[in-house]
């Protein structure tokens, strides 16, 4: 099964499904949502009453001058209505702020948590730059959608309903008909053109993610780019992606101008027709000057936000497209999951058994075929063989990054598929061949093995890994920043940090995957002695290329082509004169000092 998320959003998008995915996160704050909606409705009632008071004021002031001509009640009502609309609008914003930010917080956390539950296969195939852009745009889209749905679209719809009702009850039905007809035509035109324009936005998103992925990939491989002098090649590749993005962005802007022009024409026609109806009513004696002011005020109140509503609708569609890409990450199923009723592993003495294990990363290539062996509790098993023999795959399967295609892996007689993943991995410590560190301090990277460890325990682990003296020689000591992926440290220094991290974790099962491959011979001997000490009384799997590092193992397996071809102690295998003996002879000739 393969997962992908960096392609374009589907043409037949399901915006309602996107909204249904978002709704549970919003409804967590249902009390605030209902309170904000109540403020919204009352504020709009106050807002539409303002032109009514304004009409009364104008009509009163149009009468012949008298000592009592000043319309005190109408003026007071006008002022209170405007104040109420303003204050309730601000109260609505304040109440709903927690809903918006809380929903963004929960969605971002859910996506981040889900990504860690996806299989290693997903993360080997993903593009970090594109995925980070998808999440960034998606969370911003949530904020935009919620803010403008509650602060613009809903208020405008409520106001349209109230104004249409007032015009229908007070004046000729033509006023309400023209108002609603103009709005309907405006909305229909906006919907049709916006749907047509969405293809340009989706193309922009895809090309933006692609360009960002290429840029981050090149920066992460900065040294490789410099080694081969390919700076110009990387810049040109990035520039080609930007050029494609630029073309889509231009089409997006031109189509936006077409949409705005059409909207402007519809609004102008509607306003002109309404004012003509009002003017005819005044000349016919059926309407007063105050009525003209009332209609004009309603037009201003409606069409100003309605014009903005076109922009908001377009941006909401864009936000839905952005959110859709982010929510597609949540749709990616976990290839490896806990079985129903999975039990936690809790032991300090672990026996590991591979029983007829078959495995391949895909159907086209078999990596392991019928691999069987057992590591009794407290003993050390070493696996050697040529590159591509399937040695490192054993570690990935034991961690249950993948499930086996056939056979079983057991810990203390229990199939690891019947154990919870968290408890299984808590019992295993690994020192990988390629150590990648967090862009943080040396202390943070060592303490990552057990975040709740005390500082003394972290320092003791560093001493055991023979890195304490080096760290103390640095100006910032344990606060020294290691750089992205640990690039500020040498390979040997990173390896010793990884060893210290595993020592601090203190698991009952240890895996050393070429753990000393980046160390010089002198440091390797010191580390080997320390590794032998920490692996005492622990179940240990050593994956090695240098045979000198495994001569003391209780048992050694030789793998070729995904199969175990030899098994025994160092002495037994040398005396057997097989593949191991040949490898030993070749390494004696090339590394006599190490041997």
Please provide the DSSP assignment of 6-25 as one string: SSPPPSS--HHHHHHHHHHH
Give the C-alpha distances (Å, rounded to integers) separating 471 from 322, 449, 481, 489.
Answer: 45, 18, 11, 11
**Which residues have a Cβ under 8 Å from the Cβ of 243 and sit 6 or more positions away?**
none
Rg value, the chain, Cα = 35
Angle at 465 between CA 461 and CA 469, to 5 degrees: 90
CB of 39 closer than 8 Å to CB of 93 = no
Q: Cβ(573)–Cβ(408) under 8 Å?
A: no
Residue 160 lies in a domain: yes
* Average pLDDT for runs of 10 along the chain of length 595: 38 71 86 89 86 77 58 79 86 87 87 78 68 80 81 80 81 81 84 77 77 81 80 85 83 82 82 81 78 76 69 77 81 76 88 91 83 90 84 88 90 91 89 82 90 91 88 90 79 84 89 71 69 81 84 89 88 88 82 50
Query: The tokens of 427 are what?
Result: 């019992």
- Burial (CB count within 10 angstroms: exposed 0-12, middle 13-18, buried 19+), residue 198: buried
Cα–Cα separations (whole angstroms), residue 523 to 473, 526, 528, 533, 589: 17, 5, 8, 15, 22
What domain count does the chain have?
1
Report the relative pairing of strands 539-543 and 509-513 from DSSP bridges.
parallel
Quote the CA–CA distance of 469 and 246 in Å, as a whole number. 53
* Residue-level pLDDT at 69: 53
**Which residues touch 497 (CB under 8 Å, ≥6 apart)?**
435, 437, 442, 445, 446, 465, 467, 482, 486, 489
Alpha helices in 62-127 (DSSP H): 72-117, 120-125
Q: Report CA dihedral (554, 556, 562, 565) to the nearest 10 degrees.
A: -130
Domain that holds residue 252: 15-331
Q: From the centroid of its chain, how far is CA 127?
A: 12
Angle CA 353–426–331, to nearest 5: 95
φ, ψ dihedrals at 591, nearest 5°: -135, 60
Are the beta carbons of 271 and 303 closer than 8 angstroms? yes
Q: Strands of 555-560's sheet, edge to edge?
A: 428-431, 509-513, 539-543, 380-385, 555-560, 563-568
Residue 567: enclosing H or E segment and its boundaries?
strand 563-568
Q: Per the domain annotation, does 146 fall within a domain?
A: yes
Helices (H), 352-414: 391-398
What distances in angstroms separate CA 84 from CA 40, 79, 97, 165, 302, one per listed residue? 11, 9, 20, 21, 19
User: Could you tell me if 109 and 82 are in contact, meaning their C-beta atoms sit under 8 angstroms apart?
Assistant: no
- Answer yes or no: is 384 within a domain: no
Quick check: 238 and 214 in contact, CB under 8 A? yes
In a domain, 166, yes or no: yes
Tally: H helices and E strands in the chain: 19, 10
CA neighbours closer than 13 Å in the CB half-sphere of residue 516? 23
Residue 285 three-state SS: coil
| Nearest partner of 166 among 87, 273, 53, 85, judged by Cα | 53
* Cβ proximity of 566 and 578 under 8 Å: yes
- Strand positions, DSSP E, 295-448: 352-359, 368-375, 380-385, 406-411, 414-415, 428-431
SS3 at position 542: strand
| C-alpha to C-alpha distances, 342 to 66, 415, 417, 421, 423, nearest whole angstrom | 89, 10, 8, 9, 10
Q: What CATH number is attached to the domain comprising 207? A: 1.20.1560.10
503 assigned to some structural domain: no
**What CA–CA distance (Å, rounded) separates 213 from 267?**
43
**What is the model's pLDDT at position 358?**
92
User: Residue 219 in contact with residue 131, Cβ under 8 Å?
Assistant: no
> Please, what sign has the CA dihedral across residues 346, 348, 354, 355?
negative
Q: Report the distance separating Cα 433 and Cα 522, nearest Å.
A: 18
**Is 21 inside any structural domain?**
yes
The answer to the question of residue 296 being in a domain is: yes
CA dihedral 574, 578, 579, 585 (to 10 degrees): 50
- The helix or strand, by DSSP H or E, that contains position 540, with its residue range, turns out to be strand 539-543
Q: Is 392 among the domain residues?
A: no
**Is 489 within 8 Å of 332 (Cβ atoms)?**
no
């Amino acid at each position: 099964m393969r997962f992908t998320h960096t392609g374009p959003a589907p043409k037949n998008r399901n915006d309602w499904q996107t909204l249904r995915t978002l709704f549970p996160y919003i409804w967590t704050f249902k009390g605030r949502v209902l309170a904000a909606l109540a403020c919204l409705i009352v504020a709009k009632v106050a807002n539409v009453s303002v032109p009514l008071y304004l009409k009364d004021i104008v009509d009163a002031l149009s009468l012949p001058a008298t000592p009592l001509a000043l319309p005190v009640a109408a003026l007071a009502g006008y002022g209170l209505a405007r104040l109420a609309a303003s204050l309730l609008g601000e109260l609505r914003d304040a109440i709903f702020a927690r809903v918006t930010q809380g929903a963004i917080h929960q969605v971002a956390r859910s996506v981040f948590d889900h990504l860690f539950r996806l299989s290693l296969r997903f993360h080997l195939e993903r593009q970090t730059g594109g995925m980070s852009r998808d999440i960034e745009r998606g969370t911003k889209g949530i904020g935009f959608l919620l803010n403008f749905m509650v602060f613009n679209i809903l208020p405008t719809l409520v106001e349209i309903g109230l104004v249409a009702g007032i015009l229908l009850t007070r004046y000729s039905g033509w006023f309400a008909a023209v108002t609603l007809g103009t709005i309907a035509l405006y909305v229909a035109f906006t919907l049709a053109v916006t749907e047509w324009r969405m293809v340009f936005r989706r193309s922009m998103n895809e090309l933006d993610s692609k360009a960002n992925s290429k840029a981050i990939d090149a920066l992460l491989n900065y040294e490789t780019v410099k080694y081969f002098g390919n700076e110009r090649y990387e810049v040109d590749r990035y520039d080609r992606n930007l050029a494609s993005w630029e073309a889509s962005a231009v089409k997006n802007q031109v189509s936006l101008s077409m949409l705005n022009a059409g909207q402007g024409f519809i609004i102008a026609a509607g306003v002109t027709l309404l004012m003509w109806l009002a003017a005819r009513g005044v000349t016919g004696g059926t309407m007063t000057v105050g009525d003209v002011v009332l209609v004009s005020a309603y037009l201003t109140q409606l069409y100003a936000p309605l014009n903005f509503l076109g922009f908001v609708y377009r941006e909401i569609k864009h936000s839905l497209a952005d959110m859709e890409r982010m929510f597609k990450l949540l749709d990616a199923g976990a290839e490896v999951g806990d079985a129903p009723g999975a039990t936690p592993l809790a032991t300090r003495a672990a026996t590991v058994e591979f029983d007829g294990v078959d495995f391949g990363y895909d159907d086209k290539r078999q990596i392991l075929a019928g691999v069987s062996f057992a590591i009794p509790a407290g003993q050390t098993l070493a696996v050697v063989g040529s590159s591509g023999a399937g040695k490192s795959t054993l570690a990935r399967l034991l961690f249950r990054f993948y499930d086996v295609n056939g056979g079983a892996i057991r810990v203390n007689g229990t199939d690891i598929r019947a154990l919870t993943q968290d408890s299984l991995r808590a019992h295993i410590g690994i020192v990988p061949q390629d150590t990648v560190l967090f862009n943080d301090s040396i202390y943070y990277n060592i303490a990552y093995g057990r975040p709740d460890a005390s500082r003394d325990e972290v320092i003791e682990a560093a001493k055991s890994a023979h890195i304490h003296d080096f760290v103390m020689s640095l100006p910032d000591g344990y606060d020294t920043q290691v750089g992205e992926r640990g690039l500020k440290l040498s390979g040997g220094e990173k390896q010793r940090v990884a060893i210290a991290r595993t020592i601090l974790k203190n698991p009952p099962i240890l895996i050393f995957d070429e753990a000393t491959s980046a160390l010089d011979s002198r440091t390797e001997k010191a580390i080997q002695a320390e590794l032998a000490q920490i692996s005492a009384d622990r179940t240990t799997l050593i994956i090695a290329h240098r045979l000198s590092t495994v001569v003391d193992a209780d048992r050694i397996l030789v793998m070729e082509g995904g199969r175990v071809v030899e098994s025994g102690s160092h002495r037994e295998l040398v005396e057997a004169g097989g593949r191991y003996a040949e490898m030993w002879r070749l390494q004696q000739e090339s590394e006599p000092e190490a041997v």
